[in-house]
Structure 1
Amino acid sequence: MENTITSPDLNLSQLFSLEGKTAIVTGGTGLIGKKHCEALVAAGANVVVADIAQANPQKFAESLGDKAIGVSIDVTDEASLENAKQAIIARFGSIDVLVNNAAINDMFENPELAAELSAFEKYPIASFRKSLEVNVLGVFLCSQIFGSVMAEQGSGSIINIASTYGIVGPDQSIYRNEAGEQLFFKSPSYPTTKGAIINFTRYLAAYWGNKGVRVNTLSPGGVGNAQDEYFVKNYSAKTLLGRMATANDYQGALIYLASDASAYMTGANLVVDGGWTAI
């Protein structure tokens, strides 16, 4: 008689469901942060839009419906995060997902000075320190304060948002226009801090694995956002799919990492970059 192997029915909707879970998104009013929040609400989660007060996270949360709230935080300030934790627990009773999305990506207001200020030789120390504070210390503090709740309850998923530039060095040629002019450089702070986040993920996954807390990195590629035509052309030519990402392109990966669909995945770096780092 032939042996057969049977498996229980697979319910994909349940596998990806976040019903009854509470998810925090730092930098929740940003271009991709908003899409993270929308995806989490669609998957059934209670969503905390966490951002600086000036970004008015409550206003965006109201647009998401009754399952979302806005909380003003400073990711570099312990007291701010502790207060937010207490408010979230009081409202929802648990913290199940943390998306460490808040970050600084250098912008230079004066285009005439952008190339000079972004060059490594003259890059401002104050800018480097600020990026370390927000992009690294901020992830550390949010993980420590919100993640400790997960460790105590014995379950949770932390998703650290890194970048392709945490994996490979910046190609400075894509910031040259058609005339060959270097309009600016990708500055040293962003790649440095995003690389740090990837290894912090591994550390925390190893540290909290026995507590049922999974910790993974999501490394996105560049998102189209009305950039100059020369840049879009240069960037797209380096991807295997021949285009920049849309803000929606990371929603599926985020829900995968947040849900039980990735229950056996921790300490990993999920790269979603259109093939940028494949060659």
Structure 2
Amino acid sequence: MYNPFSVEGRIAIVTGGLGQIGTQISTTLAQAGAKVAIYSRRPFSAEQIAEKFPGLEDNIKVYEASVTDKDALEAATDQLIKDWGVPDILVNNAGIDSKPDGDADQNAPFEVYPKKYWDDIIETNLTGVMLTSQVVGSKMAEAGKGSIINIGSMYGMVSPNQALYAYREERDGKPFIKAISYAASKSGLINMTRYLATYWAKKGVRVNLVTYGGVKTGSFDKEFIDAFLERVPMGRQADIGEFSPIIHFLGSEASSYMTGANLVLDGGFTSW
């Protein structure tokens, strides 16, 4: 029986597929029968794959390729095509943000925000998506098929609410400003998605964006969580497993007439 939601036998690439959200995406697709190629900045052995993805070793391979290195992306993609074939799905998941407890300059006021941190985040979150889409998407277009799924953030749609972070200055005695670079990079993905969706529409390649809201990770201060949940209509953060099903949907034929869309999963945060 035909199942439009099936990704059985499809070949998927997940960048940053060893991170917290990336692992969940990779696992969900592999459990659904897809062959998953994870592009990682660091090498990852077969033994490590077996430990991290028990029972899914036959459906998951890791290729060493940074999203900011076009030569490495091309080499990994050429090898993937030799191993499994032309990919059907690309999930541009790799991304970085400033670290709340890292170098204070990462969260400095805009007036003195260092260009170094702007460059680092834009290079990975925006340029990295462009390069990966360029390398992989061109192979998809040649084959006349493919679904590219970009991973966005609610801070690509609305500005970070600096009031959520005010407690840090009160607690630590120094300014703490959620940096501009992450918001700018995720905002840029909205129109990059539209651009590529229209550019490749007649080549059979669909390009969509998934915008995520806050997810439970256990790494946020209680003060932040309390303030954040007051601004979420659903009154809770997402469980990490709530994000992957939409990736499954966009990688399947169930979304075959959808391109250039932004699917928002934020508990209603951007609705207020």
SS in 2 for 1:241: coil
Matching of residues 103-142 of structure 1 within 5 Å: 103-110=95-102, 113=104, 117-142=107-132
Separation (CA, whole Å) in 1 of partners of 2:166 and 2:148: 37
Tell me the residue number matched to 1:70.
62
SS in 1 for 2:148: strand
1:163-199 residue CA offsets vs partner (Å, 9 max, x unmatched): 0000001111111339955762210000000000110
Tell me the residue number matched to 1:259.
252
| Deviating 4+ runs (over 6 angstroms) | none
CA contact (8 A) 1:219 1:271 kept: yes
Matching of residues 1-279 of structure 1 within 5 Å: 11=2, 14-53=3-42, 56=44, 61-62=49-50, 63=53, 64-110=56-102, 113=104, 117-177=107-167, 180-181=170-171, 184-226=176-218, 227-279=220-272
Separation (CA, whole Å) in 1 of partners of 2:24 and 2:10: 18
SS in 2 for 1:277: helix
Segments of structure 1 that go 5 or more residues without pairing to the other structure are: 1-9
Separation (CA, whole Å) in 2 of partners of 1:58 and 1:104: 26
Indicate the larger mover: 118-127 or 84-93.
118-127
Separation (CA, whole Å) in 1 of partners of 2:18 and 2:156: 23
CA contact (8 A) 2:231 2:269 kept: yes
CA contact (8 A) 2:109 2:175 kept: no
CA contact (8 A) 1:163 1:194 kept: yes
CA contact (8 A) 2:107 2:178 kept: no
CA contact (8 A) 1:50 1:57 kept: no
CA contact (8 A) 1:41 1:47 kept: yes
Query: Which residue identity is paired with 1:65?
Result: E
How many residues in Structure 1 have an aligned counterpart in Structure 2? 265
Query: Which residue identity is paired with 1:167?
Result: M
Separation (CA, whole Å) in 1 of partners of 2:66 and 2:242: 27
Indicate the larger mover: 171-180 or 155-164.
171-180
For normalisation by structure 1, the TM-score amounts to 0.89
Query: Which residue identity is paired with 1:69?
Result: K
Q: 1:260 offset after TM fit, Å?
A: 0.8
Indicate the larger mover: 100-109 or 194-203.
100-109
Q: 1:140 offset after TM fit, Å?
A: 0.5
Q: 1:109 offset after TM fit, Å?
A: 4.1
Measured at CA, do residues 160 and 261 of structure 1 come closer, stay the same or move farther in structure 2, by a change above 3 Å?
same
CA contact (8 A) 1:58 1:71 kept: no
Query: Which residue identity is paired with 1:42?
Result: Q
1:216-245 residue CA offsets vs partner (Å, 9 max, x unmatched): 000000112111111111111111110111
**Percent identical residues:** 41
CA contact (8 A) 2:168 2:175 kept: no
Query: Which residue identity is paired with 2:179?
Result: S
Separation (CA, whole Å) in 2 of partners of 1:220 and 1:254: 12
Q: 1:61 offset after TM fit, Å?
A: 3.5
Q: CA RMSD in A?
A: 2.0
Measured at CA, do residues 168 and 117 of structure 1 come closer, stay the same or move farther in structure 2, by a change above 3 Å?
closer
SS in 2 for 1:145: helix
